[in-house]
């Protein structure tokens, strides 16, 4: 049922109900603006529900991005309390099992202790005290960070719209594809709307709206493979989210470390299939006790829909080198696809007056979206 013609004008129209769209809807609604969100599916089913659910400030480099991540973290804490969404303020451990990994961790702590991170070097005994899931044999130590948190993304992305409706009066139009924008008008599900500001938060869909803009931007897609176990028996908890030395090569926070090159060389020499498939391995646990495990990274404009069993096996085999849990039986496996602009932390573009494309947070949507949305919306009012 379509709204009446007198009800089709809003202050802000958001295209997409993934985490980027929801964050911008929240930032706009908090300013008292009338907001409508249009989602092509009956509920969001893209990259925003196909991830670890990690809010991961430790992965962001010092400065503006770390500040954005920490602001997002604060908003997550506020939202989850108000909306009744379970969240685990669990922290994280980067585990070192090779001298090259330990060298990177030591250098990171030495150079970033005053940069806004909540970090400490832990010896093996201190590490094992943090998590019963850590493999003790061969452990050199770890990097502890206290800022990381975990939600179940499937639950959070389904529940946040209800909160936005009840708290701020945001309107959601599910199963409504926005097929045309000619600002200040847009066409959604055959209905014509008017909005003072239109935000296009379309994730990996580059084809429906402004395809030429996306084609010229150099933006690409990234496919990642992931898995989830069932709830661990007897209430077993891993404590912090865990990751191995491969993760040090993935996140920009560590890119300044001169010791990183030796680690990359060792990985390339001993296990070249990890960089070939963009594999680094992390594990998080939700409130239900389920473990989410991943992931790989394949880049290209048209990712293959077929998941590769050997990639999942690489991930699981590597996980077992640093983590042990009572039940590693895989209940689900899937892949997600997100947008990335190589060399950039996001893609923000104005294709016409009154329209803003916000995309390509590069797999860090859960970590950065709320902070970014505040910055974007603040920019409209100076």
Mean residue pLDDT of the chain comes to 96
Query: Phi and psi of 351, rounded to 5°?
Result: -75, -25
Place of tokens 């994280």: 92
72 with 55: CB under 8 angstroms?
Answer: yes
Query: 2 pLDDT exceeds 50?
Result: no
How many CB atoms are located within 10 Å of the residue 350 CB? 11
What DSSP line would sit under 86-136, residue for residue? Answer: --B---EEEEE-SHHHHHHHHHHHHHHTTTT--EEEE-HHHHHHH-TTB--
Bond from prior residue into 292 cis (ω within 30 degrees of 0): no
Residues 222 and 285: their CA atoms lie apart, in Å, by 24
Q: For residue 280, what pLDDT is reported?
A: 97
> Which among 96, 148, 98 is positioned nearest to 119, based on CA atoms?
148
337 pLDDT tier (thresholds 50, 70, 90): very high
Q: Helix, strand, coil shares of the chain as percentages rounded to 5?
A: 35, 25, 35
Q: Residue 182 corresponds to which tokens in the numbers above? A: 């000619």
Q: Which residues does 72 contact at the CB level (< 8 Å), separation at least 6?
A: 23, 55, 367, 368, 369, 370, 371, 372
139-176 pLDDT per residue, tens: 999 999 999 999 999 999 999 999 999 999 999 999 99
Whether the pLDDT of residue 381 is over 90: the answer is no
Instruction: Kindly indicate the confidence band of residue 60, based on its pLDDT and cuts at 50, 70 and 90.
Output: very high
- Helix ranges (DSSP H) in 131-188: 153-168
pLDDT tens track for 78-131: 999 999 999 999 999 999 999 999 999 999 999 999 899 999 999 999 999 999
CA distance 61 to 179: 37
Instruction: Write down the pLDDT at residue 1.
Output: 36
Structure tokens at 16: 């997409």
* Domains along the sequence of the chain with CATH: 5-48+154-216+345-380 (3.50.50.60), 92-145+220-340 (3.30.9.10)
**What tens digit of pLDDT does each residue of 240-277 get?**
999 999 999 999 999 999 999 999 999 999 999 999 99
DSSP label at 304?
-
Structure tokens given for 31: 């300013």
- State what percent of residues in the chain have pLDDT above 90: 96
CA distance 225 to 295: 5
Bridge-based pairing state of the strands 220-229 and 298-300: antiparallel
Residue-wise pLDDT for 193-224, tens only, equals 999 999 999 999 999 999 999 999 999 999 99
Whether pLDDT at 3 is above 70: no
How much is the pLDDT for 380?
Answer: 84
Q: Is 172 helix (H, G, I), strand (E, B) or coil?
A: strand
244: phi then psi, degrees, rounded to nearest 5: -95, -175
Of 203, 227, 230, 221, whose CA–CA distance to 308 is shortest? 227
Mean pLDDT of 306-329: 98
For residue 382, what pLDDT is reported? Answer: 54
């Amino acid at each position: 049922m379509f709204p009446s013609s007198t009800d089709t004008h809003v202050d802000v129209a958001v295209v997409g109900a993934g985490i980027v769209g929801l964050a911008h809807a929240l930032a706009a609604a908090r300013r008292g603006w009338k907001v409508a969100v249009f989602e092509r599916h009956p509920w969001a089913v893209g990259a925003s529900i196909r991830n670890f659910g990690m809010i991961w400030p430790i992965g962001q480099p010092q400065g503006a991005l770390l500040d954005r991540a920490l602001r997002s973290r604060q908003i997550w804490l506020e939202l989850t309390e108000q909306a009744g969404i379970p969240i685990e303020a669990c922290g994280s451990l980067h585990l070192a099992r090779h001298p090259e990994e330990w060298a990177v961790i030591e250098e990171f702590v030495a150079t970033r202790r005053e940069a806004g991170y909540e970090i400490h070097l832990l010896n093996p005994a201190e590490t094992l005290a943090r998590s019963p899931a850590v493999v003790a044999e061969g452990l050199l130590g770890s990097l502890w960070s206290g800022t990381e948190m975990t939600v179940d993304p499937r639950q959070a992305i389904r529940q946040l719209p209800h909160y936005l409706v009840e708290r701020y009066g945001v309107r959601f139009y599910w199963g409504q594809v926005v097929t045309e924008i000619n600002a200040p008008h847009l066409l959604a599900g055959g209905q014509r709307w008017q909005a003072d500001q239109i935000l296009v938060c379309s994730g990996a869909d580059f084809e429906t709206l402004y395809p030429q803009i996306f084609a010229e931007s150099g933006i690409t897609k990234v496919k990642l493979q992931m898995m989830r176990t069932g709830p661990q028996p007897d209430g077993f908890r891993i404590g912090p989210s865990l990751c191995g030395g491969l993760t040090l090569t993935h996140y920009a926070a560590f890119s300044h470390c001169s010791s990183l090159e030796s680690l990359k060389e060792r990985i390339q020499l001993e296990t070249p299939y990890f960089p070939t498939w963009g594999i680094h391995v992390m594990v998080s646990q939700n409130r239900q006790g389920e473990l989410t495990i991943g992931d790989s990274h394949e880049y290209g404009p048209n990712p293959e829909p077929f998941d590769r069993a050997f990639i999942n096996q690489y991930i699981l085999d590597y996980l077992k080198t640093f983590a042990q849990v009572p039940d590693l039986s895989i209940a689900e496996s899937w892949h997600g696809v997100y947008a990335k602009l190589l060399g950039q932390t996001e893609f923000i573009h104005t294709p016409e007056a009154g329209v803003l494309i916000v995309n390509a947070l590069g797999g860090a949507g859960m970590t950065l979206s709320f902070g970014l949305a505040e910055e974007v919306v603040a920019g409209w009012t100076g």
